[in-house]
């Protein structure tokens, strides 16, 4: 049986915050271009807790290159507004893992229409698939944090509340939050596996299904068909990489890409997933209970425009395939199509 020597896993959760984009509540205020530009200028100068989202990155980000352009670090406030680029904050909350060989980090992202939070675990060691899934189950159930221990969902909720308190003074009671955290898992180093790519029903197929669902059940139980899990054709850059999605999870399997490159890939995919969740929760709130002024907000128009761009042609490993699956699985396509001034995402 093969083993996994390192893996990177991210959990993210998103919440739309209507009081910010309908009334301009909170600080920083990202609700309209004038206030956004002021907030972006302050953030770029290091004038507070919230910074540009790449401020803490150790390397060039292909995700932000695709989102904003090759010179994304020098994007103008107007350009950042047009792309609805979030601000990022490093929480003062410290997370400690109860799993040996696992290191945890977290971040908060403030978008014009909502907030996203992310917890990332880097797990190293020599794990069989059952041992790895046991470690992930422990992380999902028990994270040490100031004041005691919480489940991963509890940690994500706490981070969302903390971001709202920082921005608004209190959590937004009118917010719309996704019901389940999204996960991205990328195996960055593995050895002794029989096949470099999954075959229907084999141990790689079972591992990837388990990583998507964050459950050991697929290791021995019923499996979703492999063809229904595989996302998009391989791209030229990642021709040896298998990408799958199931439930609210995504998983990547590649035995030949360098570990550092795969870790960057995981971070970029997690950013794309979280961004999409914030936009989808905005649509959910708009469809359920939005007043007329919300539908007229420029930030809403740009959010819907961004969803369309990310749903579009598969010209980036960070955009279309996983994002299109996530949007389709949200069951919000009809609502998006009704709201988009630019026309529907696709003909249905």
Structure tokens at 90: 């490093």
Please report which confidence band the pLDDT of residue 226 belongs to, taking 50, 70 and 90 as the band edges.
Answer: very high
pLDDT of residue 25: 86
Give the Cα separation of 128 and 109 in Å (integer): 34
Please report which confidence band the pLDDT of residue 287 belongs to, taking 50, 70 and 90 as the band edges.
Answer: confident
Give the Cα separation of 137 and 211 in Å (integer): 10
pLDDT of residue 237: 63
Can you give the pTM of this predicted structure? Answer: 0.94
pLDDT tens digit sequence for 12-38: 999 998 888 888 888 999 999 999 999
Is the pLDDT confidence value at 62 over 60?
Answer: yes
CB 253 within 8 A of CB 208: yes
More confident residue, 47 or 262: 262
Please report which confidence band the pLDDT of residue 53 belongs to, taking 50, 70 and 90 as the band edges.
Answer: very high
Question: What DSSP assignment string belongs to 127-190?
Answer: E-HHHHHHHHHHHHH-EEETTEEE-HHHHHHHHHHHHHHHHHSS--TT-EE-SS-EEEEEEEEE
Provide mean pLDDT across the span 51-78: 93
Mean pLDDT of the chain: 90
Provide mean pLDDT across the span 247-261: 94
CA distances, 50 to each of 114, 123, 238 (Å): 14, 28, 34
More confident residue, 340 or 84: 84
Is the pLDDT confidence value at 243 over 90?
Answer: yes
Question: What DSSP assignment string belongs to 310-344?
Answer: HHS----TTTHHHHHHHHHHTT-HHHHHHH-TT--
Q: Which of 36, 198, 44 is nearest to 111 (CA)?
A: 36
pLDDT of residue 309: 85
Provide mean pLDDT across the span 316-345: 80
Q: Residue written as tokens 């499996």?
A: 223
- 73 CB-side CA count, 13 A: 9
Helix (H, G, I), strand (E, B) or coil at 202: coil
pLDDT tens digit sequence for 93-147: 999 999 999 999 999 999 999 999 999 999 999 999 999 999 999 999 999 998 7
- Please return the burial class of 233, using the count of CB atoms within 10 Å of its CB with bins 0-12, 13-18 and 19+: exposed
Q: Which of 150, 160, 165, 152 is nearest to 117 (CA)?
A: 160
pLDDT tens digit sequence for 152-179: 999 999 999 999 999 988 887 778 889 8
pLDDT tens digit sequence for 288-327: 776 666 777 899 899 999 998 888 754 444 446 899 999 9
Provide mean pLDDT across the span 208-219: 98
């Amino acid at each position: 049986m093969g083993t996994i020597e390192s893996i990177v896993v991210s959990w993210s959760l998103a919440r739309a915050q209507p009081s910010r984009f309908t009334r301009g509540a909170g600080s920083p205020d990202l609700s309209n271009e004038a206030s956004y530009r002021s907030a972006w200028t302050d953030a770029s100068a290091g004038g507070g807790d919230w910074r540009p989202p790449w401020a803490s990155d150790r390397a060039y980000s292909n995700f932000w290159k695709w989102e904003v352009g090759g010179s994304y670090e020098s994007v103008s406030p107007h350009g950042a507004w047009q792309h609805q680029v979030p601000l990022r904050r490093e929480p003062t909350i410290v997370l400690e893992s109860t799993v040996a060989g696992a290191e945890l980090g977290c971040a908060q992202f403030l978008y014009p229409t909502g907030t996203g939070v992310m917890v990332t675990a880097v797990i190293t060691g020599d794990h069989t698939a059952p041992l790895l899934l046991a470690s992930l189950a422990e992380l999902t159930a028990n994270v040490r944090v100031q004041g005691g221990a919480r489940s991963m969902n509890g940690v994500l909720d706490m981070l969302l509340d903390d971001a709202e308190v920082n921005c608004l003074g209190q959590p937004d009671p009118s917010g719309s939050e996704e019901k389940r955290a999204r996960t991205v898992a990328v195996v960055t180093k593995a050895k002794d596996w029989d096949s470099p790519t999954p075959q229907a029903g084999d141990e790689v197929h079972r591992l990837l299904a388990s990583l998507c669902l964050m459950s050991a059940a697929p290791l021995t139980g019923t499996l979703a068909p492999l063809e229904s899990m595989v996302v998009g054709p391989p791209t030229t850059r990642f021709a040896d990489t298998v990408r799958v999605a199931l439930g609210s999870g995504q998983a990547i399997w590649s035995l030949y890409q360098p570990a550092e490159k795969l870790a960057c890939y995981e971070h970029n995919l997690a950013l794309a997933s979280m961004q999409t969740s914030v936009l989808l929760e905005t649509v959910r709130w708009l469809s359920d209970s939005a007043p007329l002024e919300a539908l007229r907000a420029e930030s809403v128009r740009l959010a819907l425009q961004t969803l369309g761009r990310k749903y579009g042609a598969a010209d980036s490993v960070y955009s279309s395939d996983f994002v299109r699956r996530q949007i389709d699985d949200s069951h919000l396509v009809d609502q998006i199509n009704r709201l988009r001034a630019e026309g529907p995402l696709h003909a249905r």
